Amino acid sequence: MKNLHCLLLFSVAFGGAHAGDFQGASHKIEYEDEPVKYSEQAPADAVAQLQHRLATGEATLRFDDQLGYLPALLEAFKISPASQVLVFSKTSLQRSFITPQNPRAVYFNDDVYIGRIPGAPALEVAAVDPRLGGIFYRFENEEV
């Protein structure tokens, strides 16, 4: 296992997403319209707080050779590994990795969920922001 120091690996997942990226999408999704205007507001959710702690060196994340950053993120967000549920739905930007034989594992608490698909390059993280509502992030799950 190795430590990750002061590196921002989170990115807002919908930055380059389009309505057609979502299975069953039939309408335009306006992320920049009222009332939210995502890019004009700074998130204050648990992920944004962890990003700040990583950037300032207050926090580090250990990389696990088998599960990547998943164990470190579960610990950072105080999510019990026992919360795991398996989801076979392909409602993911990484849906090409999801099959009945390779489901997405979702871990969660009241504020954050982490989705892991074996073999996929990223973890899917969603957090509840007090002003913006649900914020979706992509966390590269490869050692840096």
DSSP state of 96: G
Mean pLDDT of the chain: 83
Given the DSSP bridges, would you call strands 122-129 and 112-116 parallel, antiparallel or unpaired? antiparallel
pLDDT for 88-116, tens place per residue? 887 788 999 999 999 999 999 999 999 99
Number of domains in the chain: 1
- Residue 123 φ then ψ, to 5°: -95, 145
pTM: 0.77
Residue 117: what residue type?
Answer: I
Question: For residue 132, what are the domain limits?
Answer: 2-140
